[in-house]
Amino acid sequence: MKLPVTLFVLCFACSLSAAAETGTTVKDTELKKEPFIDAATLATLPGQTTVEILKRQGGWTQVKPPTADKGWVRMLNLRLGDGKPRQEGSGSGIGALFNVARSGSSGTTVTTGVRGLDITKDTLQNASPNPGELKRMHGFSVSKAEALKLAGSAKLHKQSVEYVEPGAVRPSGNASSSDAPASSWGNN
């Protein structure tokens, strides 16, 4: 009686994996019940654990590990994919074929390739300035007031945040190392 159930579960997993994104932990990572640092820890996932990615919220990603219930891990402890090295063209399928077919041709003259235009070192080297298009671009500029209106309609609220120094954070996690003056970026 157990077999059909197992099959069902397997197939369900199959259909999900076709659409779902996978990720892999880069180091030992706590699996939290909620997306907060002081939420309960459900498990500790070792580095190189491949998980199913469900959604992201701020600095947290909801995942389903193979051996535990779903929970939240720090987004920056994850890399997309199954952790195996990727190969050239593996992600682009037919696009990669078009790329081969078009190699050597100038992207600037092929205006309606099936794939669309590439911007590569070659196409940049072959490009001619396009002042007409620059003028068109300038036509889309908006005023400060229009920009603030769009921000207001999304309830974006300004916050006071100082720039941060490269060495401001030590691995020990010691806080209050941030009092360096903002002017110490140096001058150009």
Partner 1 sequence: MKRIYRQLTALALGTMLASQAWAFGGFNLDLNKIISAGKNLSEASKEISEPEEISIGEGMASVLLGAAPLLKNDAIQTYINQVGRYLSLQTERPDLPWHFGVLDSVSVNAFATPGGHIFVTSGLLKKMHSEAELAGVLSHEIAHVLRKHHLAAMKKAGGMGFLTDVASIAVDQKGGGGYAGKELSKNLISGMKEILVRGLDKDDEYEADRMGIVIATRSGYDPYGLPAVLQTLDGLSGTSDVSLLFSTHPAPASRLDTLSGLMQSKFDHYQGQSVSDRFRRLVPNGGNN
What residues between 73 and 132 interact with partner 1 by CB under 8 A? 74-81, 85-92, 95-96, 99, 107-108, 115-121, 123-131
Q: Name the minimum Å distance from CB 20 to partner 1.
A: 11
Q: CB-wise, 4 or 129, nearer to partner 1?
A: 129
- Which of 32, 26, 81, 80 lies closest to 48, judged by CA? 26
Distance CA 137, CA 145 (A): 19
The DSSP bridge partners found for residue 78 are: 25
Q: Is 58 in the site for partner 1 (CB under 8 A)?
A: yes
- Side by side, the strands of the sheet bearing 78-80 are 41-45, 29-32, 71-74, 60-64, 50-57, 21-25, 78-80
Widest pairwise Cα distance in the chain: 74
Q: CB-wise, 66 or 116, nearer to partner 1?
A: 116
Q: Name the minimum Å distance from CB 94 to partner 1.
A: 12
Distance CA 152, CA 149 (A): 5
Q: Name the minimum Å distance from CB 67 to partner 1.
A: 23
By CB under 8 A, which span of 8-16, 42-50, 56-64, 65-73 interacts with partner 1? 56-64
Q: CB-wise, 11 or 80, nearer to partner 1?
A: 80
Instruction: Find tokens 């077919």 and name the residue.
Output: 101
Q: Is 166 in the site for partner 1 (CB under 8 A)?
A: yes
Q: CB-wise, 7 or 117, nearer to partner 1?
A: 117
Q: CB-wise, 2 or 84, nearer to partner 1?
A: 84
Give Cβ neighbours of residue 36 (< 8 Å, ≥ 6 apart).
Answer: 60
Q: Is 156 in the site for partner 1 (CB under 8 A)?
A: yes
Q: β-pairing, 21-25 with 78-80?
A: antiparallel
Q: Is 151 in the site for partner 1 (CB under 8 A)?
A: yes
Q: Is 7 in the site for partner 1 (CB under 8 A)?
A: no
Distance CA 72, CA 57 (A): 9
Residues 25-44 that bind partner 1 (CB under 8 A): 37
